[in-house]
Structure 1
Amino acid sequence: MGGNQKSQKNKAHKTRFASKSSRNVHKLAGDAPKSRGKVAARVPSHGQRAKDLRHQRTKNIRDQKRASLLAEKRANSGALASPRILAIVALSPKVDVQLLKKWIASTASTDEKDLANGVSDDVMETEQVVTVESGPVTVVVPRYKSRFTVIEAPRDDLQACLEVSKVADIVAFAVPAEDAEYIDKVGKSLLSMLRGAGLPNCTGFVTGLAGVPDKKRPDAKRAASAALMTELPEDSKCFGTETVDDFQQMMRHLAEQRLSEPKWRSERPYIVAQELTFSPTSSMSGTLVLSGYIRARTLSVNQLVHVAGVGDFQLSQVDVVEDPSPLRPRRKQAGEGQMVVENSEDPTGFTSVQPDPESQESVVVENIPDTLAGEQTWPTEEELAQAGEENNKKSKKRLLPKGTSEYQASWIVEDSDEEHDEVEDDGEDGVMKAASDDDDEDKDEEGSVISEDDVHVDLKPESVWGDDEDDTQSEMMDDDDLTPAQRAAEIQRLRASHATDEEFPDEIDTPMDRPARERFARYRGLKSFRTSPWDPKESLPLEYSKIFAFDNFARTQKHVFSKAAERDRKHVPGCIGVHTYVRLHIKDVPSGAAERLLTSFRQVPLVACGLFQHETKMSVLHFSIKKSEGCTEAIKSKDTLIFHTGFRHYTTRPIFSTDDMNMDKHKYERHLRQGQFSIATVFAPVTFPPHPLVVFKEFPDGIKLVASGSLRSVDPNQIILKRIVLSGYPHRVSKRKAVVRFMFHNPEDVRWFKPLELWTKYGRRGRIKEPVGTHGSMKCVFDGVTQQRDAVCVSLYKRVYPKWPSS
């Protein structure tokens, strides 16, 4: 650059403000006098204020979560908390669960003085363990300020093992260390079942390390832990069972870990029976007295309780009793607002809560239908006269194109001044309904198909072949000469060469000894499965008069849950708080069921669960269900299955349907298919979701796990349609026209099903023009060129319902 040229000069930066935040100083209180040497208070910008609000909101949420977690920790641990239920599940027959339970009881009885003297390094010996009784055992661990109720899960009974996992706070899976097969076939089925039901906190035990040589012991423990951890959640830990120190570490982990209770269980109060007695009040029933700790939520003496495996009952009394195994002695305190009656006659002393007759819920299972609600009174003379006048009026006929359905005819706008005098008056109405209620195989009351007379058509049909109609009819004489046996053999040959059950599973054979209009009278056609209307209140069976329906189920659930939350927050009369040891007096329990419970509650946990409002009433429940991978047997619709949902289990006969999310109609499935979700519909007591589902079926060789899933909805108006497909085969083809045979076997059936739309397996759509001959052949027209190897089909639908439970 030459010297005579001017050098570049850039504009100087403004240094009036020291920082971005100081730029807002001149905006402060412009009218107020500014003092010398003092800077006015800074006003944050709009963005800064929004940022501060976000930070403050985040801090408040964080503090609330911290406070709730601290309150939960204090409630679920310490001297006032109920004992934690530890369920031990053996995944191999070589695991001695009874010995494990004894070692845990011995570890709990070991005090700190023994640990200081070096007992922790000693190997657990059989002679050192204490003697414990069979069944649930409650142990107190003062060192960690906790209590445990240890329950053994039976390996040989899947349903009993499932009942144990329903009440367990922690599930401990035990595997042997000296066996290469750590988890056998039964253990894998147990894991699959428990995962489907929903697992709480999990931990692992490795047993049999004392029998492994010292040099191989670490590798054996590591291999067994790796095999077990692949089946458990990621945050699970595995412990050895060799020394006292191993058990001490395990007990500390179980006492200090935060419990993650399943949501379905945390929403309802429940009591696991520790003591059980029965007082008969009559020859058929009596009062069942069940003692245990209230868990999860507050229990009201006015609400109903469900005794697992027996039914729903009312409470006659609830006694608040002193804790039989306290962590430390404490004073008996009565909650505020309770209807407490002091009982001075009992030497031990307890408080009794009595139900309020006005507030106590009643046990209502089924609706009592009014059999006379649908009766029609005798018509008056005025009504008879009016009906006669209407019958005398001649209905106006409409001339419509051939093949026009009733739905299509409703969209055709016709000039009211124009009269069609050329139409014959062959009936009272232009559109007639025809139905038949004779169906020997299915007794579901449904609507009927639209007959051929539904739409008035021209009586001079146009030939499919144009002017060559006589030639076509002469060619069809060959089909008329076939014998019934030859016709059946020809049909079987064509069906075997055209379709398989996997590709077209709904195809059925049209009966040859019975008219199709009678056999399929309860079926009807749909223009579109997705959009065609179907009235959910039409022709319902008698069982639907016994169930209950909700105008808005989601709103009802929200209202019921809000009432339960209010009962937890406030001191409502008749309510007993969580972690209280109580004695429930359950009235009107059948004597036979009570005797069975008295002999089995030590082996299988007995649960009394508090029910929400409406949870005793029958309705239609829909479950999302998936077949288990280990189940290879066929599961058909309406098979007898055992449903375990929450603390309930019952025997039912569900029907399966497709899982269509965006449709008001669902297609019926004859079998539960492998690898995909289906909807299982049953009649059952109302249950508010979420709720897991585990399904068993009884086979000749025992009860097996067949499926698992969850509760989807409670809706009696959900429509499930069974589809059947009638198929025929082209006999003569000429471009868009064809003569189809073997779909029907008489011309009357062809005329009856004439309004229905045809479709082919190669994607063509068409309609029936007229019958040909006397054996059910028919002329059809399609929207494109039809191939000789194609198959012509028509779809029919009817609504199906689940079976009412037998007990």
Structure 2
Amino acid sequence: MPQNKSHKQKFASKHAIAERQQGRAVTHPSGPKAAAPSHSKEKSRQAADAWRKKKNDAVLVQRRIGTVGAPKILGIVPINETANPLFVAAALESVVTGEDSSSPTYPRTIVSKSLKQRFTLVLENDGNEQRISDVGKVSDIMILVLDCSQGVQEAIQDLNEDAGGDDGMSGTTWFNDVGLCVTDTTREIVSTLNAQGLPSVTVVLQGLESFENSRKKLKTIKVHRRYFESVFGDSVKIFVHETDADIQTLLRTISVMHLRSLKWREFRPYFVVEEMAEVNDDFEVRGYVHGNNLSANQLLHLTDHGTFQISSITDIGDPHPLTRSAGVAKGLIDESTEESREPLTCIQASETVEDEGLATEADVEFEKAKTKKIRVPAGVSEYQAAWYEFEDGNEVPEVVAEPVEETPNDDDFMDMDALSYRTTQTDLDFLKAADVIRHERMTDEERLEEMQKLKDMSEEEMWNSDMVDTPVNLPARQRFAKYRGMKSFQTGVWDPNENLPIQYGHIFKLQGYNRVRDASIEKSSIGAAKEGMYVSIKLLGVSKEQRQAAAAAPFIICSAQLEHEQKWSVLHFHVQRNTELEGAIKSKTPVLAHVGFRKFYVSPVFSDPTVGDRTRFARFFHEGEKFRIASFYGPISFLPCPLLMFLVPSLEEQAESNSLRLACFGGALPPNPDLLILKRTVLTGRVAMINKKHSVIKYMFFNEDDVNWFKPVDLYTRYGRRGKILKAVGTHGLFKVALNDQIMQHDVICMDLFKRVFPKWTTVAFNSTDLAPAPSGNEEDE
């Protein structure tokens, strides 16, 4: 049967056109098949040319590293107990320079005339995991050295059979493949480097000359290639170190290797110290500037040794030039004054402490102007009135309790003292006489025993960490005096500036974070010490002990701080748990935090990830959970900035020479002291008597005053019922509730209370004394 053609909808009504435009002024072409503008192809061609030019410029910048600008930094580190990175570094230097150095010192820069490139060798020979992570922060290419000799393989096989070996090598391997020389130390180093952010990576296998069978040697190489490609990706390069020809192959590869950029260090000036000198009692550090430009007004941080002000910056000429005209010294290029230097002050003086907390007349007038009066039921205190929700504005108004004349109706049955709604029974008639006498005569021990019995018999299989038992011998209004109730966790009214600890008077808050960050980066980019210069920096305030510690260190990393990065605030980091760590991490546990180039001992507070102005406090970071927000006091670090947190070993573990364990890692979020970290506490009760419209609840409170105190807070049950407290029943904490549906006998009645939690002021710099001590008066205990 023929059908009509479908309507093409060539035309539309005015209403349909207005609906599509949605208020936008849209100009339609003249005709349904109007041609595109003639200049659209030209614009597309120009955009494609700009994109192509941008990519070509990026490739040129990559190729010029090590030739025109600063030399490439090669970080050579061991990743198992018997690897020898010093042998690889000496072989590289011998192939490039053609000379064998008897006692080389590192870091040092070598020049390859044939490849027309320069390399700075940074070496960590002791296998210290903390220093290996520091090498990864500054390296352009990481050279990981692994010993795969036949003796190591046999030792691992013996340890797999008998885990009680005492040669210091773990017997646990990743794949458990025969010939895989990967130990627990290897896995810890690999996970730490991956968590921090890896530059380009190459792996050098040592000890393969110990195999007489070439087939077994090829199998060993294949097994290790499979492992490292699984943890580093397909871009990792695997090399064998047996002869000088192998080192030449390695050198040619790293000279043309694509360098992976780390965004977090591109806008920060940093360098590896190649020389240290004391000139006229002034301490100077020298090296090639990497990253951004450097100014004398910035603060210079020496990793593990402290933060110092810069007196002057001098261009002393390139000591390792590729051409004769490249090593010309320019002399003094930048000098700072006392007024222009970034101050070392990390906290500010608290005005609240200075004026002894007394409000001025202006403060009183301002508070009066923004408050208003509301009507609340008679007998409600000012603290209880703060639990009521207000529909207009976020300000907590002034509460004036005024008597309200009440008239009995269907909605006010909860306020009648003599009779219950639609019944002739009194309140005490809801319970049997025997139950009333038993509850009145029960001792505290008997109440606790019955509560534990009900908890064991309940159907709650999973333990709720927020559930707290109400103390029997202490009034709940005193135990939970700092808590309050909210109808909604997300939209409930909470002033972020109320009841702040004394530490908030000493920290800073950035207004317009993105604008301040961009201005700080722009200010650093106009520094006199350009990227690639070999400079000598004169530091101020370096003590004798710090100079001796710096001289004894295997290498020193210097990084310039951006403006405002010395100031303290409440820092937040989005962290991920290390999957290889066993056990839960408790909030406020002391850890060692690597925040970019800086290190601090902190006690982080964990909370749920959020994008709003509040988050829920988490007591533990469990094994099954992947992400949390870690908050603690510390100096501001503009994002992007990586974070590594290591659990500090106990005294017993230190006696056994156990290293730090990576707990979690992540990246920085904008510092925000106003973020509300709310701790939830759930009070629970049991059903004592069920009626058609309301029920009687027990074991949530144990006296009548507590019931009246928490009466404004909403209730809910585990099975979804919601309601409110009507009135107390008797004098031992029983109370009557009205719910929106019939409750079941085995249901649990819950009440949510919230309290704001603040981090602990326990942050101290790692091996540093330049940070101010904490102000007196720590935050309140939980």
**Normalising by the residue count of structure 1, what TM-score does the alignment of the two structures yield?**
0.77
Following TM superposition, by how much is the alpha carbon of 1:204 offset from its aligned partner in structure 2, in angstroms?
A: 1.6
Write out per-residue CA displacement over residues 21-52 of structure 1, whole angstroms, 9 at most, x where no aligned residue.
xxxxxxxxxxxxxxxxxxxxxxx964553123
1:240 paired with 2:240, answer yes
TM-aligned CA distance change 1:461 to 1:233, over 3 Å: farther
Letter in 2 for 1:195: N
1:230-379 to 2 correspondence within 5 Å?
230-277=230-277, 287-330=282-325, 332-333=327-328, 350-351=331-332, 353-370=334-351, 371-373=353-355, 375-376=357-358
Corresponding residue of 2:513: 553
Residue 398 of structure 1: how far off its partner (Å):
6.4
Q: Deviations over 1:670-723 (max 9, x none)?
A: 111223200000111111100111101112213221111111221111000001
CA positional deviation for 1:246:
1.9
Length, aligned pairs only: 667
Structure-2 separation of matches of 1:792 and 1:563? 58
Q: 2:317 touches 2:329 (CA, 8 Å); kept in 1?
A: no
**Counterparts of residues 671-682 of structure 1 (less than 5 Å):** 671-674=620-623, 675-682=625-632
> Hey, what does 2:66 align to over in structure 1?
77
Question: Residue 541 of structure 2: SS of its match in structure 1?
Answer: strand
- Alignment-derived partner of residue 589 in structure 1: 542
Amino acid at match of 2:241: T
Runs of 5+ consecutive residues of structure 2 not aligned to the other structure: 1-33, 154-178, 393-398, 405-411, 765-782
Q: CA deviation at 1:725?
A: 0.6
Single out whichever of 589-598 and 185-194 deviates more from structure 2. 589-598
> Shift of the alpha carbon at 1:351?
3.9
Matched, 1:777 2:734: yes
Shift of 1:536: 0.7
Identity of aligned residues (%): 28
Pair 789,141 (structure 1): closer, same or farther in 2 beyond 3 Å: same
> In the superposition, relative to structure 1, how do residues 736 and 558 fare at CA in structure 2: closer, same or farther (>3 Å)?
farther
1:87: how far off? 1.6
Does structure 2 retain, via aligned residues, the 8 Å contact 1:736–1:786?
A: no
Q: Kindly indicate whether the alpha-carbon contact (under 8 Å) linking 2:413 and 2:420 is maintained by their aligned counterparts in 1.
A: no
- How far residue 251 of structure 1 moved from its aligned partner, in angstroms, is 0.2
Cα offset for 1:736? 4.2
CA displacement 1:314-343 (0-9 Å, x = unmatched): 1112221133333343354467xxxxxxxx
More moved, 137-146 vs 711-720: 137-146
Paired residue for 2:206? 207
- Measured in 2, the distance between the counterparts of 1:406 and 1:81 equals 63
Cα distance in structure 2, aligned partners of 1:596 and 1:464: 80
Cα separation, partners in 2 of 1:206 and 1:736, compared to 1, 3 Å: farther
Task: Find the aligned partners of 2:391 and 2:198 in 1 and give their Cα distance.
Answer: 57
Residues 347-403 of structure 1: CA deviation (Å, up to 9, x unaligned): xxx5463224553322231111122446447999x99xxx9xxxxxx99886899xx
Counterparts of 2:235 and 2:734, CA distance in 1: 69
Q: Does 1:530 align with 2:482?
A: no
Structure 2 residue identity aligned to 1:318: I
- For the structure 1 residues 563 and 535, does the alpha-carbon distance in structure 2 shift closer, same or farther, using more than 3 Å as the test? same
TM-aligned CA distance change 1:397 to 1:144, over 3 Å: closer
Q: Partner of 1:472 in structure 2?
A: 430
Matches within 5 A, 1:350-429: 350-351=331-332, 353-370=334-351, 371-373=353-355, 375-376=357-358, 429=401
1:151-207: CA deviation from partner (whole Å, max 9, x where unpaired): 333564221211111111111123344431321111001100110000001112122
Aligned letter for 1:430?
A: E
Give the aligned partner of residue 521 of structure 1: 481
* Structure 2 residue aligned with 1:664: 613
Q: Which amino acid aligns with 1:161?
A: I
Equivalence for 1:150: 121
The offset of 1:494, in angstroms, is 1.3
User: Contact 1:464 / 1:781 at 8 angstroms: preserved in 2?
Assistant: no
Deviation at 1:313, TM superposition (A): 1.9
Contact 2:298/2:560 (8 A) holds in 1: yes
Q: Secondary structure at the match of 1:699?
A: coil
Report the CA distance shift for 1:791/1:611 in structure 2 as closer, same or farther (over 3 A): same
Contact 1:313 1:589 in 2 (8 A): yes
Q: Aligned pair 1:627/2:577, yes or no?
A: yes
**The residue matched to 1:589 in structure 2 has which SS?**
coil
1:645 aligns with one of 587, 595, 599: 595
C-alpha change, 1:461 and 1:668, in structure 2 (3 Å) is farther
1:599 aligns with 2:558: no
Q: Does 2:128 align with 1:166?
A: no
Query: How far off its partner does 1:729 sit?
Result: 0.5
| Aligned residue in 1 for 2:184 | 185
- Tell me if the contact between 1:643 and 1:693 (Cα under 8 Å) persists in the aligned partners: yes
Residue 579 (str. 1) matches residue 532 (str. 2): yes
Q: 2-side partners of 1:204 and 1:249: how far apart?
A: 13
* 1:797 aligns with one of 754, 769, 775: 754
* Separation in 2, partners of 1:590, 1:456: 77
Q: Distance in 2 between matches of 1:232 and 1:375?
A: 56
Q: Which residue of 2 aligns with 1:440?
A: none
Cα drift, residue 411 of structure 1: 6.9
Q: 1:319–1:583: 8 Å Cα contact kept in structure 2?
A: yes
Structure 1: stretches of 5+ with no match in the other structure: 1-43, 112-128, 282-286, 336-349, 388-393, 413-426, 433-454
Q: Does the aligned pair in 2 maintain the 1:619–1:685 contact within 8 Å? A: yes
Q: Which amino acid counterpart does residue 50 of structure 2 have in structure 1?
A: N
* Deviation at residue 790 of structure 1 after TM alignment: 0.8
| More deviation, 457-466/260-269 | 457-466
SS at the partner of 1:150?
strand
Q: Evaluate the alpha carbon distance shift between residue 209 and residue 431 of structure 1 in structure 2; reply closer, same or farther with a 3 A threshold.
A: farther
Aligned to 2:39: 49
SS in structure 2 at match of 1:476: helix
SS in 2 for 1:254: helix
Counterpart of 1:615 in structure 2 is: 565
Q: Distance in 2 between matches of 1:629 and 1:409?
A: 42
C-alpha distance in structure 2 between counterparts of 1:237 and 1:721, whole Å: 48
Change (3 A) 1:669 1:107: same
Offset at 1:503?
4.5
What is the RMSD of the two structures over their aligned residues, measured on CA atoms? 3.2
| Cα distance, 1:293 vs structure 2 | 1.1
Secondary structure at 2:231 match in 1: coil
C-alpha contact 1:464 1:779 (8 A) present in aligned 2: no
Indicate the residue corresponding to 1:225 in structure 2: 225
Give, in angstroms, the shift of residue 405 of structure 1.
7.5
**Structure 1 residue 508 corresponds to structure 2 residue 479:** no
Distance in 2 (alpha carbons) for counterparts of 1:377 and 1:242: 77
Q: Distance in 2 between matches of 1:239 and 1:428?
A: 79
CA distance in 1 between partners of 2:94 and 2:127 (Å) = 27
Contact in 2 for aligned 1:102/1:132 (Cα 8 Å): no
CA contact (8 A) 1:399 1:456 kept: no
Over 3 Å counting, the alpha-carbon distance change for 1:242 and 1:372 in structure 2 is closer
From 85, 90, 113, the equivalent of 1:97 is: 85
Deviation at 1:241, TM superposition (A): 1.4
Q: Distance in 2 between matches of 1:88 and 1:456?
A: 79
Residue of structure 1 equivalent to 2:10: none
Which deviates the most, 771-780 or 740-749? Answer: 771-780
From 63, 71, 79, the counterpart of 2:53: 63
SS in 1 for 2:685: strand
3-state SS of 1:755 partner: coil
Aligned to 1:8: none
Letter aligned with residue 615 of structure 1: E
* Alignment match of 2:417 (pick from 454, 460, 466): 460
Q: For the Cα contact (< 8 Å) 2:603–2:763, is it kept in 1?
A: no
**Deviation of the 1:431 alpha carbon:** 8.3
Residues 188/55 of structure 1: CA separation in 2 closer, same or farther (3 Å cut) = same
Whole-Å separation in 2 of the counterparts to 1:673 and 1:161 = 28
In 1, distance between residues paired with 2:111 and 2:459?
A: 68
> What SS does the aligned partner of 1:231 have?
helix
Q: C-alpha distance in 2, partners of 1:168/1:577?
A: 19
1:450 corresponds in structure 2 to none
Any residues of structure 2 matched to 1:700-711 within 5 Å, and which?
700=650, 701=653, 702=658, 703-711=660-668
Counterpart of 1:126 in structure 2 is: none
SS at match of 1:767: strand
Local SS of the residue matching 1:218 = helix
2:503 alignment partner in structure 1: 543
Q: What TM-score do the two structures reach when normalised by structure 2?
A: 0.79
Q: Once structures 1 and 2 are overlaid, which stretch shifts more, 789-798 or 307-316?
A: 307-316
